[in-house]
């Protein structure tokens, strides 16, 4: 029955036209706009990354959805008394991108080549519903002042940049966002229409609603997510949950009565927030489909706000084709779903028209792109290369060895193109075939070496980043030493070392575990090996062209990348931002280089438009301007419609009533049978 109703795809406004099932909504929901806090947790930031993995760069690359949404909401002028929105991004004090730069300037920061560590699949379909949460007293401020919508999303000691604060109004949306390193910047479907809208505040205590994003890759990330929920409830805040944790396990006890927005429904966050503020419990966990075919997610042409106006992050596909035994994210993200090539090319062209000079392609596994729609990754990349202006660059995300093996020649040619970074992230996870078999990684160590050796030969100087899991079930000392030998031989400039965490519900969690102390010791040993060498010493004295895209956190340098996506710190000069600059390398660190612009430095301006201002809306076409003006407009791709749902207590009472009727009927039937025999 529910599936039938979902298939009707009723608009939210219609689905909620029925009387509020849990009694009248709170008074504040009828008269005052809310304040929202968004919390976004990235698996890569749930615990300290080992071996020089870049905590900051991960979040910078894949910004937090809650931050993007909250910023979008805060753009419209606020009326007097309208709440403020506050967002805390993926780094503690500033933008994720700046966090990396700060660490770079300290010579601690890892390289920006961390595209992620483990495969992240996409979501299974689940029913969506709207119910009434248990009644409880509203906070005093919520009864007399506008609500604040808060989106807290915290990743292990790395909160991100706060949303712009507005002086008008009293409430706010606070975003504490830890972006999933796999998720791209999030688009929004429509504005807050004619109603007062939340603005930004940095004070979580002032927020009335927390939007918590999550990641299910590692146990510490989920623990932090659960603690944030508990804290929000203790402070009497309304809560909306997002990300892979609630998508994979929406029936956890600690999520009861809370609104959830699924990984494929992020573009409907405004609707979910609005209804949660009114007192409804909303759950949007269904899959998006187009003519019966599963889609990757929200439309690519939806307006959004970039954290860095110079960098566009494009998700080319969601989900994966693997079944790794340690991966919990597969339960949330599901199988592969690729975006069509023409849509991706149009998004790239639009980005360049808006002043973007660097594009990052991201997904759970970029190498698997197109297998579900009859194409492949090289075909997409050649189409994108055709539209990249001179002076702009393209960076490719993580790919697993099996898929790139099929296209080695083509990939070598693409990575040699002057407008494509000679960089690739290829996770190996272990150098033991027996361990890889236990992981169900679908390749052997020889396959990985073949890929790396071929690319190093055909693309001289290429940067290869990789991931390693220490202490996977069944890993022996000999297995671990094989991994150590691999690192010694290849001396990877970027290495992401992860201690194994058994995730509930995965096959690996049921295997015989390696003792915790052994896992810690192996992780420590591999980290020490990684820090024992400097991969950039031989670069000193070179003259390089670098693309400048951001400012360091301490404001002492600009951060740029050379042809091999190696981070280069250059002196601050406003003329350099967003441009190619010639520099002489004079210093190297573990994770960065320092360059001095040559005398009469040549500055190459990309053939692109003037970049958007920070916080300015991308993709605000005439179509979407009508949405702003009229409060109605084009809808996102079809998704499961929100449906009214009885509160948990009401459902339980209904079941008891049905059970009682059944028992009575059985008793009558037994009585009739006995009477007949008599």
Enter the pTM of the model: 0.67
At a CB cut-off of 8 Å and minimum separation 6, what does 641 contact?
Answer: 5, 6, 8, 9, 10, 11, 12, 15, 128
Same topology for domains 197-286 and 542-597, yes or no? no
Rounded to an integer, the average pLDDT of 141-164 is 34
- In 3D, which of 45, 42, 49, 46 has the Cα closest to residue 470? 49
pLDDT for the residue 233: 78
584, 541 Cβ separation under 8 angstroms: yes
Name the architecture of domain 542-597. Beta Barrel (2.40)
Unique residue bearing structure tokens 């009707």: 8
Directed axis angle between helix 269-277 and helix 65-74, to 10°? 70
Lowest mean pLDDT among 36-50, 53-67, 496-510, 575-589: 53-67
pLDDT, tens only, 175-223 = 444 435 444 433 333 333 334 555 555 567 777 788 787 776 666 677 7
- Among residues 236, 230, 232, 282, the alpha carbon closest in space to that of 259 is found at 282
Quote the CA–CA distance of 600 and 613 in Å, as a whole number.
Answer: 28
410 burial (CB, 10 Å; 0-12 / 13-18 / 19+) is: middle
Read off the pLDDT of residues 77-119 as tens digits, 9 standing for 90 and up. Answer: 333 343 333 333 333 333 433 333 333 343 333 333 333 333 3
Coil vs helix vs strand at 129: strand
Mean of the per-residue pLDDT values of the chain: 71
Count of CB atoms situated within 10 Å of the CB of 301:
17
Looking at residue 20, its pLDDT comes to 30
Collapsing DSSP to helix, strand or coil, 212 comes out as strand
> Residue by residue, what is the 3-state secondary structure of 78-108?
CCCCCCECCCECCCCCCCHHHHHHHHHHCCC
Please provide the CATH number assigned to the domain covering 197-286: 3.40.1260
Give the distance between the most distant pair of CA atoms in the chain: 112
67 backbone dihedrals φ, ψ, rounded to 5°: -65, -45
Pairwise pLDDT comparison (596 vs 265), residue with the higher score: 596
pLDDT attached to residue 297: 67
E strand intervals along 152-261: 174-176, 209-212, 238-242, 259-261
Res 653: pLDDT: 57
Domain ranges for the chain, please list them: 197-286, 293-535, 542-597
- Which CATH number is associated with domain 293-535? 3.80.30.20
Q: What was the pLDDT predicted at 628?
A: 55
Average the pLDDT over each of 343-347, 397-401, 625-629 and give the range with the smallest value.
625-629
């Amino acid at each position: 029955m529910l599936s039938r109703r979902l298939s009707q795809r009723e608009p939210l406004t219609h689905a909620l036209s029925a009387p509020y099932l849990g009694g009248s909504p709170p008074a504040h929901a009828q008269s005052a706009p809310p304040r929202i806090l968004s919390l976004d947790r990235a698996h890569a930031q749930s615990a300290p990354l080992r071996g020089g993995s870049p905590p900051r760069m991960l979040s910078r690359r894949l910004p937090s959805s809650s931050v993007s949404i909250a910023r979008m909401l805060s753009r419209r002028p606020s009326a007097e008394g309208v709440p403020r929105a506050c967002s805390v991004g993926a780094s503690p004090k500033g933008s994720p991108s700046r966090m990396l730069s700060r660490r770079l300037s300290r010579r601690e920061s890892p390289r920006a080549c961390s595209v992620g560590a483990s495969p992240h699949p996409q979501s299974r379909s689940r029913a969506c519903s709207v119910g009434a949460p248990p009644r409880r007293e509203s906070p005093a401020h919520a009864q007399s002042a506008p609500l604040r919508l808060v989106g807290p999303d915290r990743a292990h000691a790395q909160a991100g940049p706060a949303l712009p604060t507005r002086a008008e109004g009293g409430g706010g949306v606070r975003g504490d966002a830890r972006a999933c390193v796999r998720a791209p910047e999030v688009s929004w479907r429509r504005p807050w229409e004619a109603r007062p809208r939340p603005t930004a505040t940095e004070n979580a205590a002032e927020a009335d609603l927390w939007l918590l994003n999550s990641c299910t890759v590692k146990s510490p990330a989920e623990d932090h997510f659960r603690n944030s929920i508990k804290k929000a409830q203790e402070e009497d805040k309304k809560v909306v949950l997002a990300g892979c944790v609630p998508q994979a396990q929406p029936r956890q006890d600690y999520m009861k009565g809370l609104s959830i927005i699924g990984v494929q429904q992020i573009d409907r966050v405004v609707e979910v927030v609005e209804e949660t503020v009114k007192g409804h419990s909303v759950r949007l966990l269904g899959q998006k489909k187009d003519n019966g075919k599963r889609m990757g997610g929200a439309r690519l042409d939806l307006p959004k706000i970039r954290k860095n106006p110079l960098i566009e992050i494009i998700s080319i596909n969601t989900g994966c084709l693997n079944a790794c035994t340690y991966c919990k994210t597969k339960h949330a993200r599901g199988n592969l779903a690729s975006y069509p090539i023409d849509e991706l090319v149009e998004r790239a062209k639009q980005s360049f028209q808006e002043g973007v000079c660097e594009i990052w392609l991201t997904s759970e596994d970029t190498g698997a792109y197109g297998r579900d729609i009859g194409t492949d990754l090289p075909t997409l990349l050649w189409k994108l290369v055709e539209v990249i202006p001179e002076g702009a660059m393209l960076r490719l995300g993580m790919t697993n060895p099996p898929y790139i093996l099929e296209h080695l020649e083509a990939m070598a040619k693409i990575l040699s193109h002057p407008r494509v970074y000679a960089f690739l992230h290829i996770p190996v996870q272990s150098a033991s075939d027996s361990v890889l078999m236990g992981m169900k990684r679908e390749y052997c160590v020889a396959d990985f070496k073949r890929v790396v050796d071929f690319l190093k030969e055909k693309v001289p100087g290429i940067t290869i980043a990789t991931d390693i899991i220490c202490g996977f079930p069944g890993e022996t000392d000999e297995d671990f030493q094989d991994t150590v030998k691999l690192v010694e031989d290849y001396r990877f400039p970027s290495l992401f070392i992860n201690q194994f965490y058994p995730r509930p519900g995965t096959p690996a969690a049921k295997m015989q575990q390696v003792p915790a102390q052994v896992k810690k010791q192996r992780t420590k040993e591999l980290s020490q090996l990684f820090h024992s060498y400097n991969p950039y010493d031989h670069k000193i004295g070179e003259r390089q062209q670098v693309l400048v895209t951001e400012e360091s956190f301490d404001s002492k340098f600009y951060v740029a990348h050379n042809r091999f996506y190696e981070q280069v710190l250059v002196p601050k000069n406003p003329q350099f931002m967003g441009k190619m600059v010639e520099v002489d390398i004079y210093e190297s660190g573990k994770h960065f280089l320092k360059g001095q612009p040559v005398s009469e430095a040549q500055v190459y301006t990309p053939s692109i438009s003037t970049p958007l201002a920070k916080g300015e809306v991308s993709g605000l076409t005439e179509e979407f301007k009508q949405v702003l003006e009229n409060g109605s407009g084009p809808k996102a791709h079809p998704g499961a419609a929100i449906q009214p749902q009885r509160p948990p207590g009401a459902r339980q009472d209904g079941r008891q009533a049905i059970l009682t009727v059944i028992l009575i009927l059985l008793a009558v039937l037994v009585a009739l049978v006995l009477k007949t025999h008599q």
